[in-house]
Every structure is written in C-alpha cells, then in structure tokens.
C-alpha cells in the first residue's frame, strides 16, 4: 500500500511539474517550431529536472524542436567530469562539454571570504552565449525556478533599490540570444522532491562553499520561514509580479504622473483614495487559521 501511494505521489508530482513547465512555455511563447534549445546543465537538481521535463514534453509536443545539453566545465578541483557525459550518453541526449578555466579567474580576482557568485555568473554567461552561437541554438534554457525569481525580487528591493526580478523570457545582454526559464512556475521544494525520486547524479557546486552569510541565502531562509508559517504567501507574491499596476507605484519614468488630468468616464485602474483596502486571506491562510484554533 505504501509503495502504491509513493508511486501515486511521484506521478502526481511529475504531472504537476510537466503541466507548470508547459504552461510557462505557452504563456511566454518560449519554444517555437524548429527551435534548437540549448539546455544549460550544471549538474544541480534544477537543471537536471529542466532537461528531463523538456525531454518528456518534446516527445509529446505538437511542434518539433531540438534539445542539446551544454555543460561548462569550469575546472573546479575535484569536479567529476565523467558524470554528465555518462548520464547524457545513457539517456541518448546530444550534448556538448565546454572546458573553460573560470575557476582560477574567480579565485584570483575575488578576495577570500567574499561572494564569488556575481563574477562567476558573468564569466559563465559570456561563455554560454558564445557556445550558443557556435551551436546555432535559437533559445538558451536556464534552470531558474519560481523561488529564484522571488529571491531576486527581494534582493533587488532590499539591496539594489529596484523593483526587478528574473523574467521568464528575455533578450540577452548582447541582443543576440533569447533566454528562457521554463521552470518559472515550479516550486524549488517540488524540484528537490523530483530530483530525489528520479535519482539524478547531482554534482554539488564547491566553488563558493556554502557561504552562509551570502545575501541570497539570507533571503532564501526568510522565504522558507514564510512558507512554513504562512502557507500560500509565496504563491500570492508570485501572482503579484504577474499583476503590476504602474499607476499605483512611483516610477515617473514608467508612468506619466505629471500630465494626469480629470476625465468624465471612470478610471479603470483608479485609486480608492480615502477608503482602506481590504485584503482577503488566501485559502491556505484560512486553513492554517482554522487548524490552529481547533
């Protein structure tokens, strides 16, 4: 009975992730007929899940597109370079391994104890853009998920003074590539559970160590606490970045406040001015409230 329940839950998880990825692809027109999608495979749980789900969707999609997995071997000491080629060969996935010693550059430039992620990311991005051009890839798929997007939103708000997150689809800095994040609707905890069930050969990133005081880690822990204490809050926050009202923010470069005028017809996105806004609790919050009071 337990085995059947585990298999049932595993199937539900797989279907949910596949549905969420399919919805994100459709919502943002991420993949089109004839695309050659370069899937950036780091060896972490998220990129493994991304490749696995895209492979499954490729087999059932009404349009044809190619997948090619690309890994950047950054020459970190002890990196198990045989793991990814063996795995990709086993599943029959075309792949390309790029060897570039960005590890030495990061260690030379960044002082001991400082966060390495920013420089590492920039170096990695430049290499992957070059490889995408060489391979003729029309889309570059990254394994960032919903929680990554929300973490970036808070990082920019708390430390950068910007209302900015990670978009599910964007044009690259050099203007030559379309970058997509098909896992944009997927929760990190679901991806972790999926990776455990599927038993991907995970390769940890040892370049930076754990860096417990890293700003992103602090934000991650804050969000995890919210998720435990206030179920549904993260879902509500993600819906918020899909429902932006520029007239109710304060960016004069994005909305013409200076030339606002009165008008005869009602304003579609007008303010309720002196009235206090009422925010209804989510179903998840109501459920928690009832369980705690009983």
Question: How do residues 89-110 score in pLDDT, each as one tens digit?
Answer: 999 999 999 987 777 777 676 6
Q: Provide Rg for the chain, Cα atoms.
A: 22
pLDDT at 83: 94
Measured between alpha carbons, how far is residue 130 from residues 8, 49, 118 in Å?
43, 24, 19
Measured between alpha carbons, how far is residue 174 from residues 68, 126, 219 in Å?
22, 10, 29
205 Cβ contact list (under 8 Å, min separation 6):
42, 44, 76
pLDDT at 111: 64
CA 14/CA 46 separation, integer angstroms: 14
pLDDT at 36: 98
Assess whether pLDDT exceeds 60 at residue 279: no
Burial 177-210 (b: 16+ CB within 10 A, else e): bbbbbbbbbbbbebbebbbeeeebeebeeebeee
Assess whether pLDDT exceeds 60 at residue 291: no
pLDDT at 294: 43
Q: Mean per-residue pLDDT for 154-159?
A: 94
pLDDT at 75: 77
pLDDT at 173: 81
DSSP code string of 102-135: HHHHHHHHSPTTS--HHHHHHHHHHHHHHHHHHH
Assess whether pLDDT exceeds 90 at residue 132: yes
Assess whether pLDDT exceeds 90 at residue 187: yes
pLDDT at 16: 97
Nearest of 15, 13, 27, 12 to residue 180 by alpha carbon: 27
Identify the residue whose tokens are 């995408």.
132
Assess whether pLDDT exceeds 70 at residue 262: yes
Assess whether pLDDT exceeds 70 at residue 5: no
Burial 54-90 (b: 16+ CB within 10 A, else e): beebeeeeeeebbbbbbbbbbebeebeeeebeebbee
pLDDT at 273: 55
Q: pLDDT tens across 36-53, in order?
A: 999 999 999 999 999 999
CA 243/CA 70 separation, integer angstroms: 34
CA 30/CA 182 separation, integer angstroms: 8
**Cβ pair 259, 183 in contact under 8 A:** no
Higher pLDDT pick, 286 / 202: 202
Residue 195 pLDDT grade (very low, low, confident, very high; cuts 50, 70, 90): very high
pLDDT at 278: 60
Helix (H, G, I), strand (E, B) or coil at 210: coil
**To the nearest whole percent, how much of the chain has pLDDT over 70?**
80
Q: Mean per-residue pLDDT for 221-227?
A: 95
Q: Percent helix, strand, coil in the chain (nearest 5)? A: 50, 10, 45
Which domains, from first to last, does the chain contain? 2-233 (3.40.50.620)
pLDDT at 115: 62
């Amino acid at each position: 009975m337990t085995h059947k329940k585990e298999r049932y839950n595993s199937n539900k998880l797989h279907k949910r992730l596949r549905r969420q990825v399919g919805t994100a692809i459709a919502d943002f027109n991420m993949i089109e007929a004839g695309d050659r999608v370069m899937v950036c495979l780091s060896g972490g749980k998220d990129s493994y899940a991304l490749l696995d789900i895209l492979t499954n969707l490729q087999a059932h999609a009404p349009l044809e597109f190619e997948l090619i997995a690309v890994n950047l071997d950054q020459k970190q000491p002890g990196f198990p370079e045989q793991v990814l080629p063996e795995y990709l060969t086993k599943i029959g996935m075309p792949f390309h391994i790029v060897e570039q010693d960005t590890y030495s550059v990061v260690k030379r430039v960044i002082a001991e104890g400082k966060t390495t992620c920013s420089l590492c990311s920039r170096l990695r991005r430049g290499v992957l853009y070059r490889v995408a051009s060489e391979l003729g890839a029309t889309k570059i798929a990254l394994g960032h998920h919903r929680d990554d997007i929300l973490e970036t939103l808070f990082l920019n708000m708390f430390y950068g003074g910007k209302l900015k997150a990670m978009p599910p689809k964007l044009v690259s800095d050099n203007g030559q590539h379309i970058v997509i994040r098909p896992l944009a609707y997927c929760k990190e905890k679901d991806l972790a559970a999926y990776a455990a069930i599927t038993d991907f050969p995970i390769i940890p990133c040892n370049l930076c160590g754990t860096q417990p005081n890293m700003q992103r880690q602090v934000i991650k822990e804050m969000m995890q606490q919210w998720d435990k204490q206030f179920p549904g809050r993260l879902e509500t926050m993600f819906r918020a970045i899909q429902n932006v009202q520029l007239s109710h923010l304060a960016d004069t470069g994005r909305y013409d406040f200076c030339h606002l005028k009165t008008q005869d017809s009602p304003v579609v996105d007008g303010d309720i001015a002196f009235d206090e806004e009422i925010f209804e609790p989510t179903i998840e919050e109501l459920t928690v409230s009832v369980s705690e009071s009983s």
